[in-house]
Amino acid sequence: MKIIISSLLILSLVLSCQPQENTYKVAFGSCNNQRLDQSYWQIIQQQQPDAFVWGGDNIYADTKNMDSLKAMYQFQKQNRYYQDFLKAINYSVYATWDDHDYGLNDGGKDWEYKEESQLAFLDFIDVTDENRRQQDGIYHAQDINIGSYDLKLYLLDTRFFRDSLKASSNPNKRYESWQKANGSILGNVQWQWLEKELQNSDADFNIIVSSIQFLSHEHGFETWGNFPHEVERLKSLLVKHQVKNTILLSGDRHISEFSKVEVDGLNYDLNDFTSSGLTHAYTSFTSEPNQNRVGKVINQTSFGTLDFNFNDNSVLMQMKSTKTGKTLQEQLIQF
């Protein structure tokens, strides 16, 4: 007896046997001095991430000489450990900048070489899109498709448009929080862009990358807390558009920590995962206030990983040693 199996049935059987893509791993980090040991890329590679996110201070330049800035980017880009890592993850790299790769320590919108610095940065991460090269600022949204799921990255620019900071009268702090609703981190154009991107997002997870911390605001250095009205504005947008499953990533501080707050109107807590630094850390750290901190501060070189599980709507956030790959601290978010 002949058994006739339709081509449709065969296709159905083949598809049912194929594994479904339901996980994705992102590694990220900040504060990378291109002159220091770069062998840690091998440690990150051992974690087998699907993508890497530069969180700012990707090189240490602090220069008005744009030829020197380009040369420092090229020095980092040609590092053999970094090159091997890029090949291993199929060049899936996304990035924002911070002050030291912007060119001016704690620099903001008044930096006279910001347009030239922008082009050098975009060259470093191989951006050829003319729209991104011609816009003011390096902000960018990236949709990542994982099978039938989506993850969306929002790479914010906290430098190009940022207003001047207010010096603190407290000798133990560098800057004050602004008490009035003036001054901006993102600037009007970037805020308009961000709201549109958040409003239109159907992603299963939304990851907002800021070079400076969002939820830790008491230490007196650069933070979104220097402009508290900007903190509230972002929270309001998440509530207004009911943006799903949002996590904040940040760097800058040469320490790593988790912070978390409840936001009225959201059905999940808002987490800020700070990972810093890759080549150097604030090893003499003893303490500083952060009322939103979860767990402890890690004061050794580290990088962050986020394991997204689309089946159960969870994210495992881990701080990893750049020397051993050992997990230093972790938090599981269940949305």
Q: Would you list the DSSP string of 158-197?
A: SSTTPPPPPBPSSTT-SBPPP-SS---SSHHHHHHHHHHH
What angle (nearest 5°) sits at the alpha carbon of residue 94, between those of residues 90 and 97?
145
Domain extents for the chain?
A: 25-323
End-to-end CA distance of the chain: 54
Eight-state DSSP code of residue 279: S
Note the pTM of the prediction, 2 decimals. 0.93
Can you give the pLDDT at residue 172? Answer: 87
Give the pair of three-digit tokens for residue 73: 């980017």
Token reading at 222? 């650069």
The one-digit pLDDT tens for each residue of the chain (335 residues) are 444 444 444 444 444 333 358 999 999 999 999 999 999 999 999 999 999 999 999 999 999 999 999 999 999 999 999 999 999 999 999 999 999 999 999 999 999 999 999 999 999 999 999 999 999 999 999 999 999 999 999 999 999 999 999 999 898 899 998 766 789 999 999 999 999 999 999 999 999 999 999 999 999 999 999 999 999 999 999 999 999 999 999 999 999 999 999 999 999 999 999 999 999 999 999 999 999 999 999 999 999 999 999 999 999 999 999 999 999 999 999 99
The pLDDT score that the predictor gives to residue 16 is 39
Separation between Cα atoms, residue 212 and residue 230, nearest integer Å: 13
Tokens of 266: 């959201």
Instruction: Say what the pLDDT of residue 8 is.
Output: 43
- pLDDT attached to residue 2: 40
Residue 65: closest CA among 133, 110, 115, 117: 117
Short-list 324, 253, 222, CA closest to 30:
253
β-partners of residue 167 are: 175
Digit-coded pLDDT (tens) for 213-247:
999 999 999 999 999 999 999 999 999 999 999 99
Give the pLDDT score at 179.
67
User: What whole-number distance in Å separates Cα of residue 25 and Cα of residue 17?
Assistant: 23
What is the CATH class of 25-323?
A: alpha beta
Q: What is the pLDDT of residues 8-54, one digit of tens each?
A: 444 444 443 333 589 999 999 999 999 999 999 999 999 999 999 99
